[in-house]
Amino acid sequence: FARWWWLALLPMFVLLAARLWPLEAIQNPNQVGDSPSAKLKNDQTAKPAPPNDILAVSSNPPPQYMEGKWRIGSDELITEPIGDGTWQILTFGDANWTDYDLKVETCCNRPGLTYSVVCRFTDKRNFWHLSFGAFGPTNVDLVGGVDGEGHSHPSRRWRPNRVHGKPDVWQTIEIQTRGESITAIIDGEVIAESSRDRLNKGCVGLHTFSGGLVRWRNLEVRKPDGALLWKGFPQLSATD
């Protein structure tokens, strides 16, 4: 018995070894970083958290207000033609937004169409819009309406025959709102600046008033410091 007394201590040695040397290491002695803690660390390295921009827009809410026929294509929003002189508008975002930068790309399928990029929208009587073709087939006008007044008179008109009337040519539209002031930019060039009291907050939107097809893509809204407020388009139901 004196020669085999150490056998009684064998179970204790086995338990101690299991604690110091995990079972995974025994099963995979040549694999580096296979312990649970190392595996977790590797997973975190291989799959970084998505950027804030993606998290912020993973699920956009439905429109604030909508009239007309709108649909989402593969990577763009499309305004379907339903007749000349038909009001179509889609607004989205937060009605309490104040200062922000709206940016979107757009193009139309034929010259002479009337369409607008909308900002600081609170209702159909109160909003700013940068309008293409509303006051002439080649005009671009910055228009602000309060209580329905002013929509028939442009606040600022830009030189014609410069940016409008080229079918299937994408243009980048930017609108910056600061206090009561607004600045419109087309393809990097400042084309109009204006101001109007009582138009100091509101959501954004898109608008058409003609029978052609207008396409929109790469829309985003950011705070003046660059923080993302909105990206993409609102959720539309299958029947929209």
Q: In this predicted model, what pLDDT tens digit does every residue of 67-103 receive, in sequence order?
A: 999 998 878 999 988 877 788 999 999 999 999 999 9
Q: Which residue has the tokens 């604690």?
A: 19
User: Over the stretch 161-185, which tens digit does the pLDDT of each residue have?
Assistant: 455 557 788 999 999 999 999 999 9
At position 5, the amino acid (one-letter code) is W
For 60, the token pair is 């956009």
Residues 127, 121: contact at Cβ < 8 Å?
yes
pLDDT above 90 as % of the chain = 38
Residues 229, 94: contact at Cβ < 8 Å?
yes
> According to the model, what pLDDT value does residue 196 have?
85
As a whole number of angstroms, the distance between CA 60 and CA 62 comes to 7
- Burial letters for 49-70: b for 16+ Cβ neighbours within 10 Å, e otherwise? eeeeeeeeeeebeebbebebeb
As a whole number of angstroms, the distance between CA 161 and CA 90 comes to 27
At position 42, the amino acid (one-letter code) is N
Element at 190 (helix H, strand E): strand 189-195
User: Over the stretch 5-23, which tens digit does the pLDDT of each residue have?
Assistant: 555 665 665 565 555 554 4
Strand ranges for 93-186 from DSSP E: 100-108, 115-123, 126-132, 140-145, 156-157, 171-178, 181-186
As a whole number of angstroms, the distance between CA 202 and CA 137 comes to 28
Task: Give me the chain's average pLDDT, please.
Answer: 77
As a whole number of angstroms, the distance between CA 197 and CA 211 comes to 33
